Structure 1
Amino acid sequence: MFLLKLIQAWRSTAFGVYGYLNFTRSGFLEHAKNFNREDMERRIDGKNCIVTGANSGIGYATAHGLALRGATVYMICRNKERGEDAVSKIQSSTGNQNVYLEVCDLSSVRDIKSFSSRFKEKDIPIHVLVNNAGLLENTRVTTSEGYELNFAVNVLGTYGMTELMLPLVEKSQPDARVITVSSGGMYNSPLTTDLQFNSGIFNGVEQYARNKRVQVALTEKWAEKYGDKGIGFYVMHPGWAETPGVATSLPSFSKSFEGKLRTSDEGADTVIWLALQPKEKLVSGGFYFDRAEVSKHLPLAATKSYHDAIAIDSIVDTLNSFM
């Protein structure tokens, strides 16, 4: 028990120091000195892109950035009114009218299946699927389908959307790609098969970190499983960005770092970069931050030993049973 507490204390300290130096806006500006401007000048006219959780924050910035470069963008939002407003703003600011709203609640397997069925009728290739929708709910909330809410959106929603849309993603090979927005918070958590936090006292922040670690593991699994289908799978984290979600879920953190957090555009930068780069320059299954592949584990944080094929396969089996 003492050793576990010591590891957890070190993990938290290492994450805090590393995050403060790298995840804040000053970290982005420092890393941006090495960015290649030409990387973001590529046009993707005629490419079809789906962005989940697209009406605000990083999702909105991602949808805007893709539309600005000529893509046809399908914005998946839970709220119809906010979604319509976001679509209108992007159409107006980019001049790209090929931006559409798709209403879907990512916390509901039924809703995801219904959306997938409707969308497949379009029979169009999806060149880029961005799994951005995310949630940090601090108290335990159970969905109407019986799932813990954070898990339902962050893990089951991401998994269901990806698996169900893969037939359309495969149509766009060899340029097909799936990009999942994780969080640097996952550095604080080892991979666990306790997906719905059934053991111990529920902690929303810890559950969010667990969920985001699972997203990294799922990306590895998808890259391994579907590598021969011409689809690239990438996961990234945006750093600490000032978004409506962060302000609502982590008010103390947001206030403490006021003026130091990244903008939504800076948080979305690597998502857009991953969507634009030639696939031969990217590593499928890789974890990206500020336009570079980075380690999935902090030194001496004792998370790597849990990140094995047995645990990942067990998680996938569980998710499949829910689908």
Structure 2
Amino acid sequence: LPYGWEQETDENGQVYFVDHINKRTTYLDPRLAFTVEDNPVKPTTRQKYDGNSTAMEILQGLDLSGKVAIITGANSGIGFETAKSLALHGAYVILACRNMSRGNDAVQRILVEWHKAKVETMTLDLASLQSVQHFAEAFKSKNVPLHILICNAAVFGAPWCLTEDGLESTFQVNHLGHFYLVQLLEDVLRRSSPARVVMVSSESHRFTEIKDSSGKLDFSLLSPSKKEYWAMLAYNRSKLCNILFSNELNRRLSPHGVTSNAVHPGNMIYSSIHRNWWVYTLLFTLARPFTKSM
């Protein structure tokens, strides 16, 4: 049976099927939905998926049991929906969250959807390189493979501040913390191949530059001083770093069975990322009718 389905028998001895994911029952065997035509017409990607497609629809029919996934920032927004979708299709999903209370709440919401989902929360604060190291060590102590690493956590529009490592927080949370996490887990990814890394980036990476006038990388732009800081530019630069890192990671690890891709989640997609400044909240609210809800 597809993941999330169970076979039961009613009081008359007739077999029926329970869909725990969508909370419905039917006497029609759901396996009939996955029969293969003799001469199928292969639909184009544009026909299969569009802006209205959900993660659950895209994963329909996939059995991810035996797969292990880590998703950063998975207690809300895109991260939560990704974690829920993977877990409801059988993957063992670790929600890597800064706030354990919110992470545990997210786990409970997934378990309400399907009580057999394999999900748990682990502490990860990307604003602390020591926390990243402790997370990697704790994960490795589980002695499980890692097939999917989704670097989703991010801050947007945050006021200037330095992390405990002395770096500008947007740069460290959005890029450097993930960079360090991937480095620490690279050996596990390689042993688990085929595996993949997904960097959640943004089209806003196009509206910035990290080179100086001579064309060389300007490190002062990556972690700027308070005087040189502008929240939107800091976010854009961090997203550009995500893409450059993903491209190079794929070049180095794809021969070993580990692929890396950077994705754009959608223009002005409605989530809680705008919460740091009321102006951003206002802009997102005005754009709400034209965006896709979580």
Mapped contact 1:64–1:94 kept (Cα < 8 A): no
Q: 3-state SS of the aligned residue for 2:69?
A: strand
After TM superposition, list the pairs within 5 Å mapping 1:194-213 onto structure 2: 194-198=221-225, 201-213=228-240
Deviation at 1:95, TM superposition (A): 3.0
Instruction: Give the gaps of 5 or more residues in structure 2.
Output: 1-48, 212-217
Higher relative contact order structure (alpha carbons within 8 Å, sequence separation ≥ 6): 1
**Corresponding residue of 1:66:** 86
Q: Which runs of structure 1 show a deviation greater than 4 angstroms over 4 or more consecutive aligned residues?
A: 29-33, 37-40
Match of 1:214 among 223, 237, 241: 241
After TM superposition, list the pairs within 5 Å mapping 1:273-312 onto structure 2: none
Q: 3-state SS of the aligned residue for 1:99?
A: strand
Mapped contact 2:210–2:222 kept (Cα < 8 A): no
**Corresponding residue of 1:97:** 117
Distance in structure 2 (CA, Å) of the matches to 1:153 and 1:103: 14
Q: For 1:263-289, what per-residue CA distance to the aligned partner results, in whole angstroms no more than 9, with x for missing partners? A: 22xxxxxxxxxxxxxxxxxxxxxxxxx
Mapped contact 2:157–2:276 kept (Cα < 8 A): no
Mapped contact 1:129–1:177 kept (Cα < 8 A): yes
**Corresponding residue of 1:309:** none
Deviation at 1:97, TM superposition (A): 3.2
Q: 3-state SS of the aligned residue for 2:288?
A: coil
**Corresponding residue of 1:81:** 101
Per the alignment, do residues 89 and 30 of structure 1 end up closer, same or farther by CA in structure 2, a change over 3 Å counting?
A: closer
Distance in structure 1 (CA, Å) of the matches to 2:52 and 2:191: 34
Q: Do structure 1's residue 242 and structure 2's residue 270 form an aligned pair?
A: yes
Structure having the larger proportion of residues in helix? 1
**Corresponding residue of 1:313:** none
Match of 2:198 among 179, 183, 186: 179
Deviation at 1:120, TM superposition (A): 0.8
**Corresponding residue of 2:293:** 263
Mapped contact 2:63–2:90 kept (Cα < 8 A): yes
Deviation at 1:199, TM superposition (A): 9.1
Distance in structure 2 (CA, Å) of the matches to 1:184 and 1:94: 34
Structure having the larger proportion of residues in strand? 2
Distance in structure 2 (CA, Å) of the matches to 1:248 and 1:237: 21
Q: For 1:249-273, what per-residue CA distance to the aligned partner results, in whole angstroms no more than 9, with x for missing partners? A: 5213212202222122xxxxxxxxx
Mapped contact 1:138–1:203 kept (Cα < 8 A): no
Deviation at 1:91, TM superposition (A): 1.4
Q: For 1:14-72, what per-residue CA distance to the aligned partner results, in whole angstroms no more than 9, with x for missing partners? A: xxxxxxxxxxxxxxx96558x9x676432211100000000001110110010111100
Distance in structure 1 (CA, Å) of the matches to 2:58 and 2:76: 27
Q: 3-state SS of the aligned residue for 1:257?
A: helix
Q: For 1:146-168, what per-residue CA distance to the aligned partner results, in whole angstroms no more than 9, with x for missing partners? A: 11000110111110111111111
Q: Do structure 1's residue 47 and structure 2's residue 74 form an aligned pair?
A: no
Q: Do structure 1's residue 225 and structure 2's residue 252 form an aligned pair?
A: yes
Q: 3-state SS of the aligned residue for 1:101?
A: strand
CA-atom RMSD, angstroms? Answer: 2.1
Q: 3-state SS of the aligned residue for 2:290?
A: coil
> What is the total number of aligned residue pairs between the two structures?
233
Instruction: Give the gaps of 5 or more residues in structure 1.
Output: 1-28, 265-323
Match of 1:188 among 207, 213, 233: 207
Distance in structure 1 (CA, Å) of the matches to 2:235 and 2:133: 24
Amino acid at match of 2:101: E
After TM superposition, list the pairs within 5 Å mapping 1:3-152 onto structure 2: 31=51, 40-152=60-172
Deviation at 1:200, TM superposition (A): 6.2
Distance in structure 2 (CA, Å) of the matches to 1:73 and 1:39: 15
Query: Which shows bigger deviation, 108-117 or 137-146?
Result: 137-146
Mapped contact 2:69–2:93 kept (Cα < 8 A): yes
Q: For 1:167-196, what per-residue CA distance to the aligned partner results, in whole angstroms no more than 9, with x for missing partners? A: 1111221x2000110112112123444211
**Corresponding residue of 1:162:** 182
Distance in structure 1 (CA, Å) of the matches to 2:225 and 2:265: 29
Amino acid at match of 2:138: R
Distance in structure 2 (CA, Å) of the matches to 1:198 and 1:217: 23
Distance in structure 1 (CA, Å) of the matches to 2:93 and 2:173: 21
Q: 3-state SS of the aligned residue for 2:122?
A: strand
Q: 3-state SS of the aligned residue for 2:121?
A: strand
